[in-house]
Amino acid sequence: MLLRKLFLFALLPAVLVFQSCGPEDVVNPVTPPVEETPENPDQPSTPDTPSGGDAVSMVICTFNIRYANTADTYPDGSSAAWKDRKESVKKFLDATKPDLIGLQELRKEQSQWFSSLSSEYGYYDVNRDNSSGSSVGTSGGEGVGIMYRKDRFELELKDFFWLDSSPRERPAQNSDGTYGAWSSACRRVTVYAKLKDKKNGTTVYFLPTHYDHKSSDARLKAAELNVEQIKTICKVTDIKEAANVVILHVGDLNTTYESTEMKPLKDAMKYARLAVDGSDKYTSTFNGFGDSSKIIDHIFYGGKAVKPVKYWVDRSDYGVPFLSDHYPVLFKWEYQ
């Protein structure tokens, strides 16, 4: 039955166009492979130097950039619109140089801006409402994206799935305004990329996402689905102890690690924030442009090869009070 379902999913269009957009821009024709057996913060310091002179390390980041809302303001009343934040975001990227970045709340102008950084980063995003999976940069709407350093990785596959009972079908709108079988407040997606690390040839799977902000049931089911899909896509039965691959699942999950909604991820994967000692273990990741404090942005990982080095929440001064209503969250690890 599972193989039959997966076969049917493969026959469906892999990517869908936002209902109000123009011509389709199909950027993502690839479908998942068939399953085989298998808060008291201190300012963080600069990431540690890798232990061992020849250690190969990697920095990954999850960053909810706050959608381009021109009405946003900082506590002092000044504008926090995207046009007033984007150059500071570029300073953050130049300073930290993450190898992989998962982005949430992308809107059209933001997608176009991130994709313009093509001299350094490869870029891929998906409009969560789109009927053929086109980029937010061409079809509008809102979505989730991936950035990867082109000098570090070779892209082998890119794709996405919806967070709903039928992950290869766009959730329909319900009569009450919610979406899909899980009654999510919005359509939600996980995007992913299969990458080859040029430094040692290891396969790295990177899966950024954004869980629903209202429905607890939808978040629990999204966590269950992501574990299921990761095992299928990465062809593993044990994510934590997977050999020969590295699996990185990041995003704004709109809930805390301690919630029951996170149990599927906690059971199946390792968790960056608690994997290493450091003051940022208790630092909030959501700031609400100054009036909120929650840890809702998370980094989960799997694979025997991953040796955690440092986890931090970047609250450095890049020329604006806040880069977003979420802080960038970063995780540095070494191959072992």
With beta carbons less than 8 A apart as the criterion, state whether 27 and 135 touch: yes
Distance CA 221, CA 114 (A): 30
Question: 101: number of CA atoms within 13 Å, CB side?
Answer: 29
User: What is the pLDDT, as a whole number, of residue 291?
Assistant: 82
3-state secondary structure the chain: CHHHHHHHHHHCCCCCCCCCCCCCCCCCCCCCCCCCCCCCCCCCCCCCCCCCCCCCEEEEEEEECCCCCCCCECCCCCECCHHHHHHHHHHHHHHHCCCEEEEEEECHHHHHHHHCCCCCEEEEEEECCCCCCCCHHHHCCCEEEEEEECCCEEEEEEEEEECCCCCCCCCCECCCCCECCCCECCCCEEEEEEEEECCCCCEEEEEEEECCCCCHHHHHHHHHHHHHHHHHHHCCCCCCCCCCEEEEEEEECCCCCCCHHHHHHHHHCEEHHHCCCCHHHHCCCECCCCCCCECCEEEEEECCCEEEEEEEECCCCCCCCCCCCECCEEEEEEEC
Distance CA 73, CA 120 (A): 31
Q: How far apart are the first and last CA of the chain?
A: 38
Distance CA 27, CA 159 (A): 9
Instruction: Compute CA 300 distance to the chain's CA centroid, rounded to the nearest angstrom.
Output: 10
User: What is the pLDDT, as a whole number, of residue 53?
Assistant: 55
Please report, in tens digits, the pLDDT of each residue of the chain (336 residues total): 444 444 444 444 433 333 333 323 333 333 344 434 443 334 444 444 444 457 999 999 999 999 999 999 999 999 999 999 999 999 999 999 999 999 999 999 999 999 999 999 999 999 999 988 899 999 999 999 999 999 999 999 999 999 999 999 999 999 999 999 999 999 999 999 999 999 999 999 999 999 999 999 999 999 999 999 999 999 999 999 999 999 999 999 999 999 999 999 999 999 999 999 998 999 999 999 998 889 999 999 999 999 999 999 999 999 999 999 999 999 999 999
CATH superfamily of 2-17+56-335: Endonuclease/exonuclease/phosphatase (3.60.10.10)
Residue linked to tokens 């450095």: 316
With beta carbons less than 8 A apart as the criterion, state whether 72 and 299 touch: no
Q: Find the angle CA(138)-CA(143)-CA(148) to the nearest 5 degrees.
A: 85
User: What is the pLDDT, as a whole number, of residue 2?
Assistant: 43
Question: What angle separates helix 82-96 from helix 108-115, to the nearest 10 degrees?
Answer: 30
Name the pairing type of β-strands 245-252 and 270-271: unpaired
Name the pairing type of β-strands 245-252 and 189-197: unpaired
Tokens of 293: 């404090």
144's CB contacts (< 8 A; 6+ apart) are: 102, 103, 104, 106, 125, 126, 128, 160, 189, 190, 191, 208, 209, 210, 251
Q: Tell me the pTM.
A: 0.85
In 3D space, the residue among 211, 291, 188 whose CA is nearest the CA of residue 257 turns out to be 211
Q: Looking only at Cα atoms, what is the longest distance across the chain?
A: 60
User: What is the pLDDT, as a whole number, of residue 293?
Assistant: 87
Beta bridge partners of 29: none
